[in-house]
Structure 1
Amino acid sequence: MPPKSKAGGAKKARAPTKRKLAEEFPPGEVLTDNAKKKWKLGSPVGQGGFGLLYLANEDSSGSVGAAAPYVIKVEPSENGPLFSELKFYMRAAKPDLIGAWMKSRKIDYLGVPKYWGSGFHEKGGKRYRFMVMDRFGTDLQKKFEGNEKKFPRKLVLQLGLRLLDILEYIHDHEYVHADIKASNLLLSYTNPNQVYLVDYGLAYRYSPEGVPKEYKEDPKRCHDGTIEFTSIDAHKGVAPSRRGDLEIMGYCMIQWLCGRLPWEDKLQDPLYVRDSKLRCRDNIDEFLKSCFPSENIPEEMKKFMQEVKALGYTDKPDYAKLRGILQQGLKTIGATNDKKLDFDVSTNDAGPPSIKTPKRKKAEEKGQSADETEGTPAKKRRAPQKKDVNGAKKTASPAKRPAKKEAQASSEPAVKKSRGRPKKNS
């Protein structure tokens, strides 16, 4: 584990050098999973950590096209990240389990990626582990940054309702996620109004066989997770819990509304971040005033954080009550959960209008298109790129610049995580 003073340093965190990079397989390579089902690889579409991501389809006589519905993550079998994720997927993300849950809750979709298969593949005397997953599009962190780091209040509340569905499901299946953040929330590849929580590299089985783990502080794994969002428990080295997931979710929602959390000025100092969160938990009113100094404080966020504060380490959250709080927030702004995700910041009801509005008006007065003034400056604009695939860093031919690396496709924690990980339960 790195020194505490470097826990949040993006440039200092490096994966263990003993892990090996996966070699690239040619299109058409056929992999057979543990259930003897065959999968055909298409072109490599991304690289994350020490694995490669390929478009894939169920084995057929034809080639794998650009519209393939699956991706397969492949890494050398001696590497650990994918193995850690597989534990969660095999226990809690099988399609029949997810389908039964959706039916029992009468919901049209659940933002948990489905597990379609996994296995080992031998090639050139080497052994590789692979997992078949749904294909996704871009992540919410890119959307957030593209919106000048602010989401509309309606959108944030809708995302919160979707996250509560997801968390209730994985909690009911004995796991917690422990690393909720915008870069781990991906839009569906086919439906832009659906969002999925991905990257279960830090997922922890908090209640094996229905017996919750006891509260125990462990200095060796202090500050695990992504430093700006991780829970107070994690700062103390306590294993992840249901209340921790909800605390992390609360921090995310507040950041999406106001743009910045109070402790983001010193993320390289995990003790400062921990103490700041402790003060904010002790005085939620002052915490929210610091986040919304010149805006109306969203009452639903105050109530949400108060509910999280009242939870004991092993308590089961009242998900229905938390949903009611967010739904009341929608009513407050005269909105409903219409299942449409609108990222237009000009609709933000959490505070004053976004600075994008005057930019758009000014551009129109000059006869420019609004796209020339919004987002990144014109001199930084790039040619349109292909859709992101599961948030992965895209592979590219030597003549092209690789696209920006995204966090999800990596089985590794995001760059702002410490290298320590919670111990995984088998």
Structure 2
Amino acid sequence: MPPKARAAGKGKAPAKRKLAEEFPPGEILTDTAKKSWKLGAPIGQGGFGLLYLASDDASKAVGADAPYVVKVEPSDNGPLFSELKFYMRAAKPELIGAWIKSRKLKYLGVPKYWGSGLHEKGGKRYRFMVMDRFGTDLQKKFEQGGKRFPRKLVLQLGLKLLDILEYIHAHEYVHADIKASNLLLSHKNPNQVYLVDYGLAYRFSPDGVPKEYKEDPKRCHDGTIEFTSIDAHKGVTPSRRGDLEILGYCMIQWLCGRLPWEDKLQDPVYVRDSKLRCRDNIRDFMKSCFTTGSEPGEMAKFMEEVKSLGYTDKPDYQKLRGTLLQGLKSIGATDDDKLDFSVSVNGASPSAAKVRPLKMRPLQPSVICLPVESGFEFKNACTRSKTNCAG
């Protein structure tokens, strides 16, 4: 049977994963640069590890205002190791700072990597990574707002994510799991948003050589099923166009509340085929999400631009920004760097249609992929658990 879909941002660790044991406040971890980090209270738990408040001042207790978090998991688990490879290559503070300066940005929503290492306790080994501390995630905000974001806010989020994606793509990586639960507000500035959780991040172009397009049944449906790209449904390794496709699905869901294939998330083949139909007829896709006459034109243009990209093509990020900026202009708004989640702000969401499933016409025959066990876990959209970095 096809895998059962999980709700966004939720999940459990596969049984074969070991869970991290809780450390007492005051535990000292030493990273590979011999810098000490003092743990405070645990503030979150993912499927495989724990998050702790942390400080680089070991002389006093870690307070509630601690600026860092430490993610800890047993060393023989895989998710944090995968994230670390991305952070160590692409998220060092000096790299991010240089990009911000060269692009004249106010900030970049990529978490900074501050250190990592191994820690032994009770005869067990743990891997840890030190990151910035963040606030609440956007999935909570989305649900609190009745599963709607104002149109102005959605376009602003899209612009911030284009900045983020251009940066990580320029550093040879794609994210592959963009969604509201992986977008966190800054702990100190609620008008800044960060893309977190690089457990599925993929180095699509090592040393500048792009990966070739190749469908693989063992990889089918990786990611979060309601948002994952058509390529991922076919088992193709993640790409830049896939990240932008996922972003498009997110923005449309934030505007209308529900994507047309959310009625059968337990059936990944149905979800894949629905997305194929939406890509083939973007106008009908918009009509299935919004009431007649209220379709946001910028979203259709955005999806058309993504549709035009080849697997190895470099996206025209500036053109995509221009499309979203034109959407802001059409509602008399600008990107004023203020993220207002209230539905009464200027440029509220277009009236959402009662989202209807697309009519199912026969597609060309293709491989139907069932989950295939690989290593410790089943490789499908539904087995990854999430770690919330909220403080």
Q: Same fold (TM over 0.5)?
A: yes
Name structure 2 gaps, 5 residues minimum: 354-375, 386-391
Question: Shift in Å at residue 97 of structure 1?
Answer: 0.3
Q: Work out the CA distance in 2 between the residues paired with 1:287 and 1:353.
A: 13
**Quick check: 1:304 aligned with 2:266?**
no
**Quick check: 1:8 aligned with 2:20?**
no
Say which SS state the counterpart of residue 40 (structure 2) adopts. Answer: strand
Say which of 400, 416, 419 aligns to 2:383: 419
Partner of 1:114: 112
Q: Work out the CA distance in 1 between the residues paired with 2:225 and 2:4.
A: 7
Alignment of 1:213-232 (within 5 A): 213-232=211-230
Partner of 2:359: none
Question: Shift in Å at residue 7 of structure 1?
Answer: 4.7
Question: Shift in Å at residue 352 of structure 1?
Answer: 4.0
Deviations along 1:330-354, whole A, 9 cap, x unmatched? 1100001000001011234332499
Alignment of 1:154-303 (within 5 A): 154-303=152-301
Deviations along 1:178-218, whole A, 9 cap, x unmatched? 00000000000000000000000100000000000000000
Say which SS state the counterpart of residue 96 (structure 2) adopts. Answer: helix
Question: Shift in Å at residue 139 of structure 1?
Answer: 0.4
Q: Would you say the 8 A contact 2:30–2:37 is kept in 1?
A: yes
Partner of 2:15: 17
Question: Shift in Å at residue 45 of structure 1?
Answer: 1.5
Q: Work out the CA distance in 2 between the residues paired with 1:280 and 1:43.
A: 46
Partner of 2:366: none
Q: Would you say the 8 A contact 2:13–2:384 is kept in 1?
A: no
User: 1:18 and 1:353, CA in 2 relative to 1: closer, same or farther beyond 3 A?
Assistant: closer
Q: Would you say the 8 A contact 2:12–2:384 is kept in 1?
A: no
Deviations along 1:341-369, whole A, 9 cap, x unmatched? 01011234332499xxxxxxxxxxxxxxx
Partner of 1:328: 326
Say which of 117, 123, 132 aligns to 1:134: 132
Equivalent AA in structure 1 for residue 348 of structure 2: D
Equivalent AA in structure 1 for residue 201 of structure 2: A
When normalised by structure 1's length, the TM-score is 0.81
- Superposition CA RMSD, Å: 2.2
Say which SS state the counterpart of residue 345 (structure 1) adopts. Answer: coil
Name structure 1 gaps, 5 residues minimum: 355-411, 422-426
Equivalent AA in structure 1 for residue 77 of structure 2: N
Question: Shift in Å at residue 9 of structure 1?
Answer: 4.5
Question: Shift in Å at residue 17 of structure 1?
Answer: 2.1
Q: Would you say the 8 A contact 2:11–2:384 is kept in 1?
A: no
Partner of 1:80: 78
Equivalent AA in structure 2 for residue 189 of structure 1: H
Percent identical across equivalent pairs? 79
Partner of 2:350: 351
Say which SS state the counterpart of residue 74 (structure 1) adopts. Answer: strand
Say which SS state the counterpart of residue 289 (structure 1) adopts. Answer: helix
Partner of 1:407: none
Partner of 1:34: 32
Question: Shift in Å at residue 20 of structure 1?
Answer: 1.4
Q: Would you say the 8 A contact 2:19–2:49 is kept in 1?
A: yes
**Quick check: 1:150 aligned with 2:114?**
no
